[in-house]
Every structure is written in C-alpha cells, then in structure tokens.
Chain A
Amino acid sequence: MTFTLKRTTAAGILTVMGATTLVGCGIGDKPGEAASGDESDGSIDVVWKGDADRAASIQEALDLFNESHPDVTITTDYQSGSEYMQKMSIRFASGDAPDLMRQERETLRDYSDRGTLLDLNEVSDVLDLSALSETVRDAGVVDGKQFGVPGGITSFSYAIRADILEKYGVEVPNMESWSWDDLLEVAAEVTEASGGEVWGTEIPVGEISNLGIWLRQHGEDLWDADGNPAFTAETVQAWFDMYLEAVEMGAQPAADELDQLGAAADQSTLGQGLVAINSIPTNSFAVFNDVSGGGLEMGYYPGESQAEQRGQQVIPSLYWSISASSADPTAAAEVLDFLINDPEGAAMIGSTHGQPANPDVSAAMADDLTPDDKVAFDEILDLSELDLAAPVPDPAGSASLRDELASIADQVKFGQITSAEGAEQFVEVAESTLGAS
C-alpha cells in the first residue's frame, strides 16, 4: 500500500516537474523568438485606452485607412482604465504583444528600456515624422532612438469659473500674470463671499504633473535627462506648505470635504460648481466648459510670469508605439503614419487625444473646430511658442512614483505627517524607484 502510494506520488511529481519545465521555457520568450502569436498573418493588432466614444472615433479613422489599404486587416481592442496596462504587460509576457499600441507617458520607458519597443527610425521610410516640431518629436526619443510618437499634444492649464466669481462679486484675476499668492487670495475671497457654498480652489497637491510645474518654476524638475531625481526636499516641502496654507486661509476645502468621484468633467468639482478655480487638461476645455454652462475661462498657471523659469510644459497626451516583436512592422508603421499625418484621419479622431502632433494637420482642422475647441487649440499653440522646458519621456519607475506622491500627499493632507516629513519621504522614494532599473 505505502509502496504504491509512494510510486504514484513520485510519478505525479515527475510529471508535474516535466510539464513545468516545458511551460517554464515558454515564459519570457525573448521578443522575436516568441511562439504562435507573432506569425505574420497579414493582420495588425491595434490597442488603445479609452471609452466607447473614443473607440468609435478611432475605428472610423482606421476604416478610412482600410479604404486606401485594403490588404491590411486591422483587429482592435481597448480598455478604459488601469486594466489597460495590466493586460498589455501580460500580453507581452506571453509573446502576444499588440503591433501598434498606445503607451502612456509614464510607461513608455518601462517598455522601451527593456527592449520591447521598436525604434521607429527603422521604419522611417514609411513613417514620416518630419512635419512634427523637434520638441514634439523628441518627446518620444530615448538615447537617440524614437520609441514613441506623440499621438496628441496637450498641457495643463488653470481654469476659472468666471460665472461663479461674477455671481459673488469677486474680480477675475489676470491669468497672464497672477501669482500663487493671488490664487490663494482670490480663492479665499470666493469662499467667503459665497458663504462657504463654493470653495475657491483645490490645490492638486498629490498630482505629480502639477508638482512638476512647481518644481520647474523653482529651477528644478522631477527628473533629469538621465532619469535621476532633480529636485530638493525644500521645494517639495514648500509645495505641501502651500496646500496647508490654502486650507487655513479657507481658500481650499479640508481633505475629506469633497469627493473626487471621477476625473470626468461632469464629475469634477469644477464642473459641478463646488470649486471655482482648478487645473484642467488643456485639451479638455470644451468638455469642462460645456458642463460649466459656458462660464469657464482658461489661462496660465499661477506663478508663471514671476518664476525664474516657466513651469508649464507642452506634453504628449499619449504615445503610439510599435512592438519590437511585431510580425509586420511596416504595415503597423503605415497605420501609424496615417493616424499622425492624414488630415482626414485626424479629423475623425478629433480632439479626443489632444491637439494633433502634426501642426499642418492641426492647422487644417482649425477651421472646423467648435469655438470651445478653438480656445484650447489657441492656448496650446500659444504655449508651444513660449520658451518652455522640453518634455522628456518619463523615466522607468515613474508610474509607481506617481502613486507614491498621491499617498504621501494624503498623509500630509490628513495631518498624519508634517510637510517636512512628507518631502523627505518623497525624496527617498524617488531615489529608490527612479533610474533604479
């Protein structure tokens, strides 16, 4: 009895070990050596992040592409939230990477540093990026290699509900030249004048892009070209301190006063009229204005004109990249070229990705824009002509840094740690996560 039990167990273990070895060899197949998923079957897999509306626009553009390229079959997929990147990483892990995909600012280098993305210079015969400005084109360059093409450009801007300010008799500040102090003062005024009905503003203290703007205004930055942290604890602490001051002045609600149910315009505190001044993605002006009943005004960040260096940046809203293991990179590059350079295709995508990266294309679109979209368009154009720091792809590990800042900021907001401690923590975390791979 025991003998047979041992024998069956041993046999079982050997089988499992054998199967394990076989499958284990399948994990992490080098890009290019992968198994079934990458046989060229004439189809290109395109994936992106977004909701159903965006999907409809992109699908239209792809259909238009098919009219002139009927031999290319395109399969698509999209997810609307964080599961987009989760699914992508698993697809890469099993050798089933999509051909053409959206990459986020914070994940581009995570993928390119590990050799999984194609250097687009290799398909430059098909993909023509010459119309893009150098700044925009270089936004996707790492060590001289082009790993991503900005699919659209945008920025962050401050927006004021002029209708609310008017209602409570508060003067709208001059957004070309206002300072952070001006912001806090006006905001406190609004809160008071409205009797607490409307809060003046919400300092986006835990949001890393905003911290970046602050840092650049103080002559620093989140990271340098090599991907190492480029800021000091003092400056970060000043950022946290400003938040605390705003709360004290009544310029901004306390930490758990308002909910962020979602970043969508109609769910935002600005859109709902709970807050009068806030930062928004520049290309979303139309949506926000629509929800605000038309009373929105947009302009520069506070402190821009007083700072030693302007903090705002014109940034890619996303990158399009091609997988290094793509079976048909030429076809993928053709699709990409169409999305970037074809005026009709771009018109279909509209402004959902921000302003088209190709200035000729975006100029062609300008006449067909709605007034609100024109406001955003002009603002981005205006920013592009200022002397702003050129964006570099976020270094590997920046995605987790983003989460860390939010968490540390929460702790400061709720008084669990002091602003000084928060700043120290953030410096430590940045040093260990950035450039560490």
Chain B
Amino acid sequence: MTVAEEARPRLEPPTVLPAERVRKRRRRQDLAGYVFLLPWFGGVLLTFVPFCISLYLAFTDYDLLTPPKFTGLDNITQMLNDTKLHNSLVVTFTYTFVSVPLSLAAALGVAVMLNRGMRGLPLYRSIYYLPSLLGGSVAIVMLWRAIFGADGIVNHVLGLFGVEAGSWIQNPDTAMGVLISLQVWTFGSPMVIFLAALRQVPQELYEAAAVDGARKWRRFVSITMPMISPVIFFNLVLSLIGALQTFTQGFVMSNGTGGPAGSTMFYNLYLYQQGFTNFNMGYASAMAWLLLLIIAAFTGINFFAQKYWVHYES
C-alpha cells in the first residue's frame, strides 16, 4: 500500500493546507490595501482628531484666550433660544432652496437646448462653465457688489429703460437676491454633467415614443427625466451640501456684517461672528456640529427618497 502511494506522482505541491493558503493570501491583500491607504490613514488622524476636539468644544465655553470650561448642555439651550441663529437658518435655507433649484433648472434647460446638437457646442459649453470656476472667489463677489451697487451696471441698464432703482445690495429685501443671482450664474458646473448624461440616453427610446404618438414635452417628462434622474440626484445632493455651507459670498458682500438688517447673515457667517467677534468659540463649535447634523439629515432624506423618483438601470 505504502509503496504504491509513494510511487504515485504527487499532484499537490504546496506544503500548507488550503485554508491557510487563503488566509495568507488575504493577509497579503490586506497588507497591500493598507499600504496604499497609509497616506489616507494619516489624513484620517489629521481630520478626525480635530473632529473629536471640536465635538468636545461644543459642550464648553471657550473664548480662545483662556482654557475651555465644560458647561454641558448650555450651548444647546442657548441655540434653542437664539433668534439670530434661527434667522440665520431662515436666510441659509431660503438661499439654498431658491438658488439650488433655480440653478439646476437653468443647468438642465440649457443642457437640453445644447443637446440638440449645434455648431460650436464646445465653445458654448466652455463659456457657460467658466463662471462656475470663478464664482467662489473674492474677486468675483466684489465684482457683484460693484455691479449691483447704486451706481452699478444693473442700474445703468435699468436707467436706459427709464427705471430708477436704489442700491440692490444695501436693501435688505434684495440683497439676498443678488447673492442668489451670483449662485445661478455658476450653473455651468451641473450643466456640463447634465449634458453628458443626456448624451447617454439611447435614441431608440425617443423613436419608439414618437412612433407611439408622444409629443415633445411628453417625451421629455417620461423618457429624459427618468433616464437622467440619477444625475439630477447627484447634482441635487452636492449642490444642497454646498449651498448650506455658504460663507465667502455672504462675508465679502456684506463686509462681514451679515448685510443690511441681517438679510445676508448666513449660518456660517453667524458662526464665524460668534467664534471670532464674540469670543464664543464653544458656541460656534456647537453651531458647526448642528450644521453637520442638518447636512447629514438632508442628505439622508435625499438618499431615502431616491427610491421614489430615481430610476437606475440595473
């Protein structure tokens, strides 16, 4: 028996058991993964340690010049009673829920128009996209201040039509509108994404619908919209997150004051004021965390709602 076994050619070269081999390979793979992630791990430390510190600070009274004093839930109680904070939330939400739909609608509308295929498409696409690169810069916000000022271009143009108007940025009713217009001016970024998505919609679908007698608008609503809904979703989520965090535009436009009568007091601007002008860094940290929760909530709602209107190809 033994002689025969020894004579048989050995088919299994390894000297370890199969299960061990799997574990070894997995460990090697894990190692590879972790090695490639080493920089990222460093980044995590750099991000998460301050993250946790700021969470601690949110429950303290910290004026930057003396050590933080733990105050428990005081900041939270204060937030509940702070009318300026509530006002800043109103301002931020107004800005977000007006400018985001407007700019996405503009983006989609122009994308649809451009998608018809026209000469010079790359040129138009670039022209529309360029503003979105510059929109967040200090120089552009200053420019908008000049444009909408009492003596700015807008009023000059209106003057040509015989319409007299005051300074749009000094008036609490219109100051926010100026900032919204700045945001809409930067619709180029989502537009480019929509354009790419529209191109991916198979022509056959339209043909089939036309054969069935569907009119243009119907085709848009029933074919185009569902097919690009994942892209709409993506743009929506990112734009919301961005708009809720607006700071520079409000700061530069109002010179850090929150605009005429608090009309441009964005949440982040108020946070900044609390932290640096009023020496309430603990309160500001609490505000920052509240913003994080709000953003997470909105994002969560969006992700939850997507199953109702976002159509994914399998």
Chain A–chain B contact at Cβ < 8 A: yes
Is there contact, CB below 8 Å, between A259 and B64? no
Q: Per-position contact with A for B12-26: 1 when CB-CB < 8 Å, else 0? A: 000000000000000
- With A89-B64, A90-B64, A114-B65 as given contacts, are A258 and B257 in contact (CB-CB < 8 Å)? no
Main secondary structure of the interface of B (DSSP, over half): loop
For residue B57, which residues in chain A have a CB less than 8 angstroms away from its CB? 27
Report B257 CB to chain A, min CB distance, Å.
6
B121-167 interface with A by 8 A CB criterion: 145-146, 149-151, 166-167
- Selected from A19, A116, A256, the residue in CB contact (under 8 A) with B150 is A256
Q: Per-position contact with B for A152-196: 1 when CB-CB < 8 Å, else 0? A: 000000000000000000000000000000000000000000000
For residue B281, which residues in chain A have a CB less than 8 angstroms away from its CB? 93
Residue A144 is within 8 A (CB to CB) of chain B in the complex: no
Is there contact, CB below 8 Å, between B261 and A407? yes
For residue A81, which residues in chain B have a CB less than 8 angstroms away from its CB? 256
Is there contact, CB below 8 Å, between B65 and A92? yes
For residue B170, which residues in chain A have a CB less than 8 angstroms away from its CB? 255-256, 258-260
Is there contact, CB below 8 Å, between A28 and B56? no
For residue B260, which residues in chain A have a CB less than 8 angstroms away from its CB? 255-256, 410, 414
Residue A261 is within 8 A (CB to CB) of chain B in the complex: yes
For residue A116, which residues in chain B have a CB less than 8 angstroms away from its CB? 65
- Selected from B166, B273, B277, B279, the residue in CB contact (under 8 A) with A254 is B166
CA distance A110 to B66 in the complex (A): 11
- Selected from A19, A115, A261, the residue in CB contact (under 8 A) with B149 is A261
Is there contact, CB below 8 Å, between B172 and A414? yes
Report B187 CB to chain A, min CB distance, Å.
27
Is there contact, CB below 8 Å, between B67 and A257? no
- With A28-B68, A414-B260 as given contacts, are A256 and B63 in contact (CB-CB < 8 Å)? no
Among A238-246, A295-303, A360-368, A398-406, the one that faces the other chain is A398-406
Is there contact, CB below 8 Å, between B257 and A407? yes
CA distance A338 to B63 in the complex (A): 33
B58-76 interface with A by 8 A CB criterion: 62-68
- With A89-B276, A93-B65 as given contacts, are A256 and B166 in contact (CB-CB < 8 Å)? yes
- With A24-B53, A92-B65 as given contacts, are A399 and B277 in contact (CB-CB < 8 Å)? yes
A248-265 interface with B by 8 A CB criterion: 254-261
CA distance A325 to B166 in the complex (A): 51
Is there contact, CB below 8 Å, between A28 and B62? yes
For residue B62, which residues in chain A have a CB less than 8 angstroms away from its CB? 27-28
- With A258-B167, A403-B257, A410-B260 as given contacts, are A28 and B150 in contact (CB-CB < 8 Å)? no
Residue A232 is within 8 A (CB to CB) of chain B in the complex: no
Q: Per-position contact with A for B44-55: 1 when CB-CB < 8 Å, else 0? A: 010011101100
For residue B169, which residues in chain A have a CB less than 8 angstroms away from its CB? 259
Q: Per-position contact with B for A386-424: 1 when CB-CB < 8 Å, else 0? A: 000000000001011001001100110010100000000
Residue B258 is within 8 A (CB to CB) of chain A in the complex: yes
- With A27-B68, A89-B279, A416-B261 as given contacts, are A17 and B52 in contact (CB-CB < 8 Å)? yes
Is there contact, CB below 8 Å, between A20 and B53? yes
Report A99 CB to chain B, min CB distance, Å.
16
- Selected from B52, B167, B258, B276, the residue in CB contact (under 8 A) with A257 is B167
Report B168 CB to chain A, min CB distance, Å.
8
Q: Per-position contact with B for A253-293: 1 when CB-CB < 8 Å, else 0? A: 01111111100000000000000000000000000000000
- With A17-B52, A20-B53 as given contacts, are A114 and B150 in contact (CB-CB < 8 Å)? no
Is there contact, CB below 8 Å, between A410 and B56? no
- With A114-B63, A114-B65, A259-B151 as given contacts, are A400 and B261 in contact (CB-CB < 8 Å)? no
CA distance A116 to B281 in the complex (A): 17
Q: Per-position contact with A for B277-314: 1 when CB-CB < 8 Å, else 0? A: 11101000000000000000000000000000000000
Looking at A16, A28, A414, A437, the one whose CB has the most chain B CB atoms below 10 A away is: A28
For residue A19, which residues in chain B have a CB less than 8 angstroms away from its CB? 45, 49
For residue B68, which residues in chain A have a CB less than 8 angstroms away from its CB? 27-28
CA distance A99 to B151 in the complex (A): 44
CA distance A419 to B168 in the complex (A): 23
Residue B262 is within 8 A (CB to CB) of chain A in the complex: yes
Residue A208 is within 8 A (CB to CB) of chain B in the complex: no
Report B78 CB to chain A, min CB distance, Å.
12
- With A85-B276, A406-B257 as given contacts, are A111 and B262 in contact (CB-CB < 8 Å)? no
Closest to B56 in A: A24
CA distance A92 to B62 in the complex (A): 13
CA distance A246 to B168 in the complex (A): 22
- Selected from A85, A114, A406, A414, the residue in CB contact (under 8 A) with B66 is A114
Can you list 21 A-B pairs, Cβ within 8 angstroms, ordered by A? Answer: A16-B52, A20-B53, A28-B66, A28-B67, A85-B276, A85-B277, A89-B65, A93-B281, A114-B66, A254-B166, A256-B166, A256-B168, A256-B170, A256-B171, A258-B150, A259-B151, A259-B167, A259-B170, A400-B277, A414-B260, A437-B279
Chain A residues near B (Cβ < 8 Å)? 15-17, 19-20, 23-24, 27-30, 81-82, 85-86, 89-90, 92-93, 110-111, 114-116, 254-261, 397, 399-400, 403, 406-407, 410-411, 414, 416, 437
Top-10 shortest CB links A-B: A28-B67, A256-B166, A410-B261, A256-B171, A93-B64, A259-B150, A114-B65, A256-B170, A259-B149, A86-B276
